[in-house]
Structure 1
């Protein structure tokens, strides 16, 4: 009898072990909840115009909080410093000349890959609110489309989060118009005073410039205010721990030598990621990332397939290993943006290389001419009162090639391309850019889009029309090769 009891007890023990193992196996097979994802776009904001990037006077407490509670990228680059081409590049994960929409105000063609659509197909609820600027086809990737509300178009972001379906993860593309001109005052922030402004050395330190910059700061404070509202709402709903919030801008500040340009003032973007479940607070990564990497990163985090048409690479690894390397090269373009242009850039390590296909013309943007800081610059130019740092937008002809050691020359003032001691570095980056040009199908148009606006001192241009665009001659819209990503 004792033997039978012992045998029964032993069998019960074994059976309980089996149940425990099955339970453990089931737990191992259960995937953690996929993160909710919010992208917050600023409009026309340079990388160092936030407190968390060292600006001494601009008030951005919520964006600073975002960086403090998460990861700040110190070397994030856009693919172009131009509104609509930049956004089309992000949503496709492709270079501007590969999207079929490389110039300002050209809509994204049908058939291009849209990473929010891939999220939607995998079960995400997708939203776009605020500035769109990519054409109607891009909007087909979203369950809910809103033009936004309020001066910066941010006022419906929190209501959207409140009304979202609660039975699926969500992806929000929240795009402000702050800090795009024209300036719009509102009550969400304390106005900045001209005396608080830090004037970059390539602008004129004048009352007009200071007032202009102070109003620009105010616009940044507005998107900061609404970013704080989003963070608060996520906490109220109890979902902040597993919601990834990523902030960045589409191009640099709307001032001379910034927007459209391939210097850090135009092409480098602030980028911060907050995801309490995964990202450690107060983390900084100096690793190189590109805006075309946002799409594949989001897809990988969501467990969605990365379409082979996407040219970017995921930087998921950097969220937990900020010193890791996912790319050695970041490329960017300057195409038509009101004025004819064709420049190309590659950033590699501490070096920045720029090549200009049309050096015979001034490198202009509307913000260099039509607004107070630009107008003052032109007045001083005509009076012969500019210093060496303020003359850039007036150069004619310009250098065909520019080479900068960014760590020692943060404003890119000292062009090293003609110096013999840097010939090896110049040749290396020429080769890298040549490879990228060939593999991605980039071209210099033979019949390019001409200036839409009149250049100072030039005849009025003909009636405007988009003409041949970069990549058209090689049908680059159908090319998926990413060019070099890692050094061999």
Structure 2
């Protein structure tokens, strides 16, 4: 969290972030132990220390289920037979074992969320407290996190508010993360400027048939590796535009270091991956991708070149261009360089800490023609 955000909170308690720091040898040295690695052990205490004479807003950010993963964090760890794998990763014991550890971290996080709900009930404020559970991205696995497929961007969105929202109801219409701030500001009766581009989703909670948007948009920029992609989707189709198709769909660095990806590299070299499982390695990528997310939820069949979907492609392509114009989304002057090797995931010489700002990198690029 940056300084500009920290200044907006009365109290900021940061969890141990050593698990995000990698050495030049590509290894982690976490300082936290046990449940402290979850980033959630102080949540209940924070609730108990709040002033009870005024409304409250808490942003409780967990480290679970970020990598790296540990064995035996639960008394009853997830069995390999309980893992459900998507078709774009190979079904091997190594892959299942890594997914099982991911499941374990989700289950640990679920325990801490339950403790928060229990504390709100103890304080007798749970019925009039809106609790929203979301995630910043998809699984730290190949073809998930840092992709624009649903496995990377369609994240949990669960709301609990007993006084206002009927339990066990589902509104399946489109919503976007840019709608969150607008909703919270409206609920608080706060004023905001034109920079709030989202829509309040409160009406969706009151009526499961209500829709607040026809399209949802998203973007991917540099994250460990150079890339630039945009997408737009409606209720049935998703359109992805790859502006740097010369790069493969390389996973995020934490997913690239994973046992899943390491096994995929071995099977790739042996010629034993299916076409769907090869998607992280193939280059160039298609410039355009179009998927029927209703009938093809894993987004495996690219419809962009099929004549019968030409009108859908044209419509979504136009919507994306209009969104880019509205948001002043312009081609950057330079490509931010990879910080890791795309095969070994070892840090490259360009990786510095503290990281240079965009302005500093742009100045360097204009002066030397490259980023060092």
TM-score calculated relative to the size of structure 1: 0.66
Q: Does 1:371 align with 2:237?
A: no
Counterpart Cα distance in 2 of 1:399 and 1:415: 9
Aligned residue for 2:316? 429
How far, CA to CA, are the matches of 1:273 and 1:251 in structure 2? Answer: 18
Residue 251 in structure 1 maps to residue 118 in structure 2: no
Which residue of the partner structure matches residue 269 of structure 1? 155
User: Is 2:316 the counterpart of 1:449?
Assistant: no
Runs of 4 or more above 4 Å deviation: 185-189, 457-462, 465-469
Q: Which residue of 1 aligns with 2:8?
A: 141
Change (3 A) 1:178 1:461: closer
CA RMSD in angstroms, aligned pairs only: 2.0
Query: Per-residue CA shift, 1:390-445, capped at 9, x if unaligned?
Result: 01001111100000010000000000000011111100001000011111111222
Question: CA separation of 1:459/1:138 partners in 2, compared to 1, >3 Å: closer, same or farther?
Answer: closer
Does the 8 A contact of 1:448 with 1:467 survive in 2?
Answer: no
Q: Identify which range, 456-465 or 212-221, moves more after superposition.
A: 456-465
1:316, distance to aligned residue in structure 2 (A): 1.1
Task: Point out the structure with the larger strand share.
Answer: 1
With over 3 angstroms needed to count, the CA separation of the structure-2 counterparts of 1:185 and 1:460, relative to structure 1, is: closer
1:413 aligns with 2:280: no
Partners of 2:189 and 2:68 in 1: CA distance = 40
CA distance in 1, matches of 2:100, 2:150: 21
| Aligned residue number for residue 42 of structure 1 | none
Distance across 2 between alignment mates of 1:177 and 1:356:
30
Deviation at 1:299, TM superposition (A): 1.2
Structure 1 gap segments, 5+ residues each:
1-133, 473-488
Contact 1:332 1:346 in 2 (8 A): yes
Who is 1:229 aligned against?
A: 115
Aligned residue runs from structure 1 range 98-113, under 5 A: none
What's 2:192 paired with? 306
CA–CA separation in structure 2 for the residues paired with 1:184 and 1:169 = 38
The 1-side partners of 2:60 and 2:357 are apart by 32
From 309, 314, 317, the counterpart of 2:203: 317
User: Which residue number corresponds to residue 169 of structure 1?
Assistant: 55
Note the C-alpha offset of 1:461: 5.3
What do residues 237-279 of structure 1 show as CA deviations (whole Å, max 9, x unaligned)?
A: 1111101100010000000000000000101011110000010
Q: Is the 1:151–1:186 contact (alpha carbons within 8 Å) kept by the matching residues of 2?
A: no
Q: Which of 289, 296, 306 is residue 402 of structure 1 equivalent to? A: 289
Provide the rounded CA distance (Å) in 2 between the counterparts of 1:459 and 1:221.
31
For the residues of structure 1 that align with 2:164 and 2:316, how far apart are their CA atoms? 36
CA distance in 2, matches of 1:199, 1:459: 27
Q: How many residues align?
A: 337
CA–CA distance in structure 2, aligned partners of residues 460 and 144 of structure 1: 35
Tell me how far apart the structure 1 counterparts of residues 317 and 109 of structure 2 sit (CA, whole Å).
39
**Equivalent residue, structure 1, for 2:171:** 285
CA contact (8 A) 1:285 1:323 kept: yes
Offset at 1:187?
Answer: 5.3
Q: Indicate the residue corresponding to 2:46 in structure 1.
A: 160
Cα offsets for 1:355-394 (capped at 9, x unmatched): 0011111111224532100000011111111112201001
Per-residue deviation at 1:184?
Answer: 3.8
SS of structure 1 residue aligned to 2:59 = strand
For the pair shown, which has the larger CA radius of gyration, 1 or 2? 1
8 Å CA contact retained: 1:256, 1:367: no
Q: Which moved more, 1:219-228 or 1:306-315?
A: 306-315
Q: CA distance change for structure 1 residues 226 and 443 in 2, over 3 Å: closer, same or farther?
A: same
Q: Which residue of 1 aligns with 2:267?
A: 380
Quote how far apart the aligned CAs of 1:460 are.
8.8
**Contact 1:362-1:393 within 8 A present in 2 as well:** yes
| Matches of 2:297 and 2:262, distance apart in 1 | 25
Give the distance between the partners of 2:337 and 2:357, measured in 1 at CA: 8
Q: Which has the higher contact order (CA 8 A, sep 6+)?
A: 1
